[in-house]
């Protein structure tokens, strides 16, 4: 044995060279082991004279097989199980222990369990603690609830057993049983409570965990448990960790934030930071750092103990601390700056996970002046970490660059340097993505970013990245100061790369040709060289673009088609066109422009990406307003102010499905009814909607545009135009009646009957609400906009909103009524918050900007109060907003 024993501090690699020599020496008791043979061997279990040692070995072999991933068939398993039960006759304790173990692993069906339960139950009452504990664990893992009822009283008694091993065994087993048999475990509450007072640390831990699990759904009970435990002495560090977790939960559910009123139990967490067990200190520090709206003052003691951990000799402690501080740095970078010196020494930590976390923390907390120095340190470190860590670093660099846009030059250089180094696809993609984002977000960085990318594609092995970059060059390149410099890079791709990249390069070149007139002749020459490419796609593209650039096939504009149709709708329309036989030319005008699900998100994205350059009208109303704008009748109405979301006016599964969109113009309200016929056997002609204005007196009907025939399974439009005084916010309820002529279709011949009859159908009423005259117009910086508007037209008032389920519901209701855009993500209320402020921005009809600050509060009886402060261009507008809330 001594000959093969290795020096424990010798490196692993040294062992390789004398592997050959070792192989002769190495003897494994499981060498050449086979399932069949072992199962044969297992027959000795049935021997009347049991040899405990040998049986133990055979059991070990069985377990070894299982451990290596071998499986036993049902028959094999039950054979093993039956013979193992025979071993109960032996009095040998070690053999008995192995029997317990193997029964748990070779768990047979419930009908077979029965033969062992009586033996196990005997052990449960044995004088020996270890027999009792093991029997309990085995029984609880194989038993069903019926049998459990029979042994319940023994288990209940075992909870308060003075032996730690027995009590722990039953408490842990009970934790597993909770899922299926919680009512039985619930009956032991008194015993469990007694076990919490146990002098054995582990028993205390298990009892606390079990008691909490029993009460997890009852907030009041949990907070009672917490207050009794925090008063009493919890000795076990593990139990103390649990307690810290419960306290953190109670804090999260309480409304108090560190500011004015103290959080409950915060002092307890603070005292845990001084606990003697590192485990508890860390758990408490973690809990403090994760508190919602944690203040810098509350963080300070936790950060201090974590800072001490940073210089620990144990990697586990360093890792735990740096990981937590890294999270804190995301929200409170200033709180972590004290640790910067310790962090910097961790950059050279042996453990690369720690080093990476340290770097990314530093990148988050670092000041603008330290960026260059940090980059230098990271540069030396990047070459010897794994790709996945590099990706983390690259992402941190990207965030830093967005934070300090002035430093883009250094950071962009860093990214381009790492881009040139070796790395896998994911890593390269992370870098390219970062550069793409920086180009988009920081206009100054565009030119240098593009040139870095150009260099990269000169030597890029990843087709996906090359095509992505070529597309970007085509989009951004022509708008730079010197578009010509990119041509060489792109043309090189046509000569050197694979077909996919060549095709992308051709498309990119064509964009230059289309957008930069002076380059066009040269581009035409270059493109004509691609006409003899050996790939179809490349040739086709070159041919098409040459024709377009030459003024044919749609002309130059056709190179750069701006699709204003949602691709999904186009696809759907094309499909239905093909299904219906494809008669007549397909018309793009028939494609619905409204995106049914989640169009808002995309618009938001578009806005943030292109900034304020985009006209709000186009962004907000592009899809819905397009139908109206394409109607010549309505050209004279002036610019469209706002279109509402479509609202259904019919029940599901009626003969016709009608939805209405309200379009607001300066002097008009245009109602667009989207009509669909849902019954195949009828034809509906001459469809129009008559609007009864009795309850909306300010309106006056001006025109009705009927629909010739309501299409089956598709959407047709009829319009009703209402006039109202210019700039007014005319309100009221519109009663809508659908009028049409029905013609039946003869089911046998499929022909439409000549004669039809007039019919009408009362649709649901439509309310014109103040929100229809307010357009959501988010402002990028609410505070600045708020200050800019000044106090001249500020108007504030308090309102009671009555009883609400929670604040989120109240917020959603008010935001819905006002129809304004929530700013800075304030529309999301933190869970269980007692107060909340929402910032809204919008434009009223007549292009008056209005900003709203809503402060909500909810009391114990769930009644909600709200303070509304409006700032706008004129006091009238502010008054109007208040009026909306008063009327609602």
Partner 1 sequence: MDVDPTVPVVKSMLLLDSEGKRIAVKYYAPEWATVTAQANYERSVFSKTSRTNARLEAEITTFSDVIVVYKFLGDLMFYVTGSQDENELILYQVLQGFYESISLLLRGAVEKKTVLENLDLVLLAMDETVDGGLILETDPSTIASRVAMRGADADVPLAEQLRNQTFSKALATAKEQIARSLLK
| Positions in 392-451 near partner 1 (CB under 8 A) | none
Residues linked to residue 738 through DSSP beta bridges, in sequence order: 689, 761
| Residue 129 within binding range of partner 1, rule CB under 8 A | yes
- Closest CB to partner 1 among residues 2, 861: 2
Among 89-97, 145-153, 511-519, 764-772, which window interacts with partner 1 (CB under 8 A)? 89-97
Q: How far apart (Å, rounded) are the C-alpha atoms in residues 358 and 525?
A: 54
Q: Give Cα 274 to chain centroid, integer Å.
A: 36
Where on the phi/psi map is residue 669: left (φ > 0), alpha (ψ -120 to 50), or beta? beta
How large is the greatest C-alpha to C-alpha distance in the chain, in angstroms?
108
User: Which member of 43, 153, 162, 176 binds partner 1 (CB under 8 A)?
Assistant: 176
| Residue 549 within binding range of partner 1, rule CB under 8 A | no
- Closest CB to partner 1 among residues 174, 494: 174
Element (H, E) at 171: helix 164-186
| Burial letters 622-649, b for 16+ CB under 10 A, else e | bbbbbbbeeeeebeebeebbbbbebeeb
- Report, in Å, the least distance between residue 606 CB and partner 1: 33
| Residue 534 within binding range of partner 1, rule CB under 8 A | no
Contacts with partner 1 by CB under 8 A: the residue count is 78
Where on the phi/psi map is residue 65: left (φ > 0), alpha (ψ -120 to 50), or beta? alpha
- Report, in Å, the least distance between residue 103 CB and partner 1: 12
| Residue 73 within binding range of partner 1, rule CB under 8 A | no
User: Which member of 314, 479, 600, 605 binds partner 1 (CB under 8 A)?
Assistant: 314
Q: Are 877 and 871 in contact (CB under 8 A)?
A: no
Residues linked to residue 871 through DSSP beta bridges, in sequence order: 851
Element (H, E) at 475: helix 463-476
Among 90-98, 462-470, 589-597, 683-691, which window interacts with partner 1 (CB under 8 A)? 90-98
Q: Which of 597, 646, 602 minimizes the C-alpha distance to 620? A: 602
| Residue 691 within binding range of partner 1, rule CB under 8 A | no
Q: How far apart (Å, rounded) are the C-alpha atoms in residues 511 and 476?
A: 10
| Residue 130 within binding range of partner 1, rule CB under 8 A | yes
| Residue 674 within binding range of partner 1, rule CB under 8 A | no
Q: Are 269 and 304 in contact (CB under 8 A)?
A: no
Helix, strand, coil percentages, rounded to 5, for the chain: 60, 15, 30
Backbone angles phi, psi at 776, to 5 degrees: -65, 120
Q: How far apart (Å, rounded) are the C-alpha atoms in residues 640 and 43?
A: 89
User: Which member of 15, 372, 421, 753 binds partner 1 (CB under 8 A)?
Assistant: 15
- Closest CB to partner 1 among residues 213, 666: 213
- In angstroms, what CA-CA distances link 173 with 63, 164, 207, 273, 348? 22, 14, 11, 32, 45
- Closest CB to partner 1 among residues 104, 488: 104
CA angle, residues 103, 107, 113, in degrees to nearest 5: 85
- Report, in Å, the least distance between residue 829 CB and partner 1: 23
| Residue 351 within binding range of partner 1, rule CB under 8 A | yes
User: Which member of 21, 24, 49, 69 binds partner 1 (CB under 8 A)?
Assistant: 69
- Report, in Å, the least distance between residue 96 CB and partner 1: 8
- Closest CB to partner 1 among residues 4, 146: 4
**Token pair for residue 367?**
């000041």
The DSSP 8-state label assigned to residue 826 in this structure reads T
- Report, in Å, the least distance between residue 5 CB and partner 1: 6
| Residue 28 within binding range of partner 1, rule CB under 8 A | yes
| Residue 528 within binding range of partner 1, rule CB under 8 A | no
Q: How far apart (Å, rounded) are the C-alpha atoms in residues 557 and 511?
A: 10
| Residue 67 within binding range of partner 1, rule CB under 8 A | yes
Task: State which of positions 323-342 bind partner 1 (CB under 8 A).
Answer: 323
- Report, in Å, the least distance between residue 332 CB and partner 1: 19
- Closest CB to partner 1 among residues 28, 562: 28
| Residue 353 within binding range of partner 1, rule CB under 8 A | yes
| Euclidean distance between the first and the last CA atom of the chain, given in angstroms as a whole number | 88
DSSP line for 319-331 = HHHHHHHHHHHHH
Among 49-57, 150-158, 187-195, 836-844, which window interacts with partner 1 (CB under 8 A)? 49-57
- Report, in Å, the least distance between residue 107 CB and partner 1: 12
- Closest CB to partner 1 among residues 15, 847: 15
Where on the phi/psi map is residue 134: left (φ > 0), alpha (ψ -120 to 50), or beta? alpha
The dihedral formed by the CA atoms of 756, 762, 764 and 766, expressed in degrees to the nearest 10: 100
| Residue 307 within binding range of partner 1, rule CB under 8 A | no
User: Which member of 38, 120, 320, 866 binds partner 1 (CB under 8 A)?
Assistant: 320
Q: Are 872 and 777 in contact (CB under 8 A)?
A: no
Helix axes 189-196, 145-159, angle to 10 degrees: 40
- Here's the x/- map for partner 1, 357-396, by CB under 8 A: it reads as -----------------------------x-x--------
- Report, in Å, the least distance between residue 97 CB and partner 1: 5
- Report, in Å, the least distance between residue 32 CB and partner 1: 10
- Closest CB to partner 1 among residues 123, 548: 123
Element (H, E) at 840: strand 835-844
Among 22-30, 538-546, 596-604, 618-626, which window interacts with partner 1 (CB under 8 A)? 22-30
| Residue 610 within binding range of partner 1, rule CB under 8 A | no
Beta-carbon contacts of residue 27 (< 8 Å; ≥ 6 apart): none
- Report, in Å, the least distance between residue 266 CB and partner 1: 19
| Burial letters 238-264, b for 16+ CB under 10 A, else e | bbbbbbbebbbbbbeebeebbeeeebb
Among 72-80, 124-132, 515-523, 616-624, which window interacts with partner 1 (CB under 8 A)? 124-132
- Report, in Å, the least distance between residue 28 CB and partner 1: 5
| Residue 6 within binding range of partner 1, rule CB under 8 A | yes
User: Which member of 44, 57, 157, 742 binds partner 1 (CB under 8 A)?
Assistant: 57
Task: State which of positions 200-259 bind partner 1 (CB under 8 A).
Answer: 202, 205-206, 209, 212-213, 216, 238, 241-242, 245-246, 249
Q: Are 470 and 457 in contact (CB under 8 A)?
A: yes
User: Which member of 90, 117, 173, 198 binds partner 1 (CB under 8 A)?
Assistant: 173
- Closest CB to partner 1 among residues 102, 649: 102
- Report, in Å, the least distance between residue 323 CB and partner 1: 8
Taken as a whole, the chain contains a residue count of 888
Among 111-119, 174-182, 555-563, 829-837, which window interacts with partner 1 (CB under 8 A)? 174-182
Backbone angles phi, psi at 597, to 5 degrees: -95, 140
| Residue 101 within binding range of partner 1, rule CB under 8 A | yes
Q: Are 818 and 729 in contact (CB under 8 A)?
A: no
- Here's the x/- map for partner 1, 262-301, by CB under 8 A: it reads as ----------------xx--xx--x---------------
- SS3 category, 255: coil
Task: State which of positions 810-869 bind partner 1 (CB under 8 A).
Answer: none
- Closest CB to partner 1 among residues 287, 841: 287
| Residue 93 within binding range of partner 1, rule CB under 8 A | yes
**Token pair for residue 886?**
């008063």
| Residue 500 within binding range of partner 1, rule CB under 8 A | no
- Closest CB to partner 1 among residues 25, 860: 25
| Residue 141 within binding range of partner 1, rule CB under 8 A | yes
């Amino acid at each position: 044995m001594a000959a093969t024993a290795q020096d424990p501090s010798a490196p692993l690699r040294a062992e390789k060279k004398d592997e050959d020599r070792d192989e002769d020496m190495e003897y494994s008791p499981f060498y050449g082991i086979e399932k069949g043979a072992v199962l044969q061997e297992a027959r000795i279990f049935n021997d009347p004279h049991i040899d405990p040692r040998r049986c133990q070995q055979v059991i070990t072999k069985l377990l070894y097989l299982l451990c290596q991933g071998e499986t036993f068939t049902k028959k094999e398993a039950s054979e093993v199980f039956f013979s193992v039960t025979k071993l109960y006759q032996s009095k040998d304790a070690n053999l008995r222990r192995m029997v317990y173990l193997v029964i748990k692993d070779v768990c047979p069906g419930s009908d077979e369990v029965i033969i062992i339960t009586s033996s196990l139950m005997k052990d449960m009452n044995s004088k020996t603690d270890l027999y009792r504990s093991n029997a309990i664990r085995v029984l609880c893992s194989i038993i069903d609830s019926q049998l459990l009822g029979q042994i319940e009283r023994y288990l209940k008694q075992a909870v308060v057993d003075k032996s730690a091993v027995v009590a722990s065994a039953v408490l842990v087993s009970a934790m597993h049983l909770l899922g299926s048999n919680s009512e039985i475990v619930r009956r032991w509450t008194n015993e469990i409570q007694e076990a919490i007072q146990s002098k054995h640390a582990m028993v205390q831990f298990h009892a606390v965990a079990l008691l909490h699990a029993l009460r997890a759904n009852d907030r009041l009970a949990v907070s009672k448990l917490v207050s009794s435990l925090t008063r009493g002495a919890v000795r076990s560090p593990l139990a103390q960790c649990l307690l810290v977790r419960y306290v953190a939960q109670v804090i999260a559910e309480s409304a108090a934030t560190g500011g004015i009123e103290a959080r409950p139990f915060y002092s307890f967490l603070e005292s845990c930071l001084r606990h003697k067990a590192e485990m508890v200190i860390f758990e408490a520090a973690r809990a403090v750092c994760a508190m919602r709206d944690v203040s810098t003052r509350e963080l300070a003691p936790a950060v201090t103990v974590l800072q001490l951990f940073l210089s620990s000799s144990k990697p586990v402690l360093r890792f735990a601390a740096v990981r937590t501080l890294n999270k804190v740095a995301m929200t409170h970078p200033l709180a972590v700056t004290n640790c910067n010196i310790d962090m910097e020494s961790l950059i050279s930590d042996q453990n690369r996970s720690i080093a990476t976390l340290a770097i990314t923390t530093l990148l988050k907390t670092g000041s603008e002046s330290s960026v260059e120095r940090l980059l230098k340190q990271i540069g030396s470190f990047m070459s010897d970490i794994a790709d996945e860590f590099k990706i983390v670093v690259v992402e941190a660099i990207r965030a830093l660059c967005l934070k300090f846009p002035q430093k883009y030059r250094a950071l962009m250089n860093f990214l381009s340097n790492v881009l040139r180094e070796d790395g896998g696809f994911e890593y390269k993609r992370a870098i390219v993505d970062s550069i793409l984002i920086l180009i988009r977000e920081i206009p100054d960085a565009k030119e240098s970013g593009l040139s870095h990318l150009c260099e990269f594609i000169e030597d890029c092995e990843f087709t996906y990245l090359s095509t992505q970059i070529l597309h970007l060059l085509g989009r951004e390149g022509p708008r730079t100061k010197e578009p010509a410099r990119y041509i060489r890079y792109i043309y090189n791709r046509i000569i050197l790369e694979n077909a996919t990249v060549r095709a992308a390069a051709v498309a990119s070149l064509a964009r230059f040709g289309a957008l930069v007139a002076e380059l066009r002749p040269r581009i035409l020459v270059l493109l004509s060289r691609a006409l003899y490419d050996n790939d179809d796609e490349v040739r086709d593209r070159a041919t098409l673009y040459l024709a377009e650039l030459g003024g044919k096939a749609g002309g130059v504009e056709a190179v750069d088609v701006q699709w204003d149709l949602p691709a999904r709708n186009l696809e759907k329309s094309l499909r239905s066109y093909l299904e219906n036989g494809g008669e007549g030319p397909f018309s793009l005008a028939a494609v619905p422009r409204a995106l049914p699900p989640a169009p808002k998100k995309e618009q938001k994205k578009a806005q943030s990406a292109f900034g304020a350059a985009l006209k709000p009208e186009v962004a907000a109303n592009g899809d819905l307003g397009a139908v109206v704008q394409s109607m010549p009748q309505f050209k004279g109405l002036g610019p469209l102010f706002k279109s509402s979301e479509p609202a259904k006016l019919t029940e599901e599964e009626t003969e016709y499905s009608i939805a209405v969109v309200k379009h607001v113009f300066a002097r008009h309200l245009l109602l667009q009814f989207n009509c669909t016929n849902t019954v195949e056997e009828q034809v509906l002609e001459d469809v129009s909607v008559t609007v009864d204005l009795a309850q909306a007196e300010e309106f006056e009907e001006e025109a009705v545009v009927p629909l010739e025939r309501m299409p089956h399974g598709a959407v047709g439009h009829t319009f009703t135009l209402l006039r109202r005084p210019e700039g007014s916010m005319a309100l009221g309820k519109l009663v809508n009646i659908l009028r049409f002529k029905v013609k039946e279709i003869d089911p046998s011949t499929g022909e439409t009957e000549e004669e039809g009859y007039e019919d009408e159908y009362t649709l649901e009423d439509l309310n014109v609400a103040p929100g229809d005259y307010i357009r959501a117009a988010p402002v990028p910086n609410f505070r600045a906009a708020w200050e800019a508007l000044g106090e001249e037209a500020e108007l504030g008032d308090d309102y009671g909103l009555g009883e609400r389920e929670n604040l989120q519901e109240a917020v959603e209701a008010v935001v819905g009524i006002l129809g304004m855009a929530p700013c800075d993500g304030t529309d999301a209320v933190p869970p269980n918050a007692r107060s909340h402020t929402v910032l809204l921005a919008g434009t009223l009809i007549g292009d008056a900007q209005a900003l709203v600050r809503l402060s909500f509060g909810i009391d114990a009886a769930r009644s909600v109060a709200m303070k509304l402060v409006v700032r706008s261009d004129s006091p009238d507008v502010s008054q109007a907003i208040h009026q909306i809330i008063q009327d609602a």
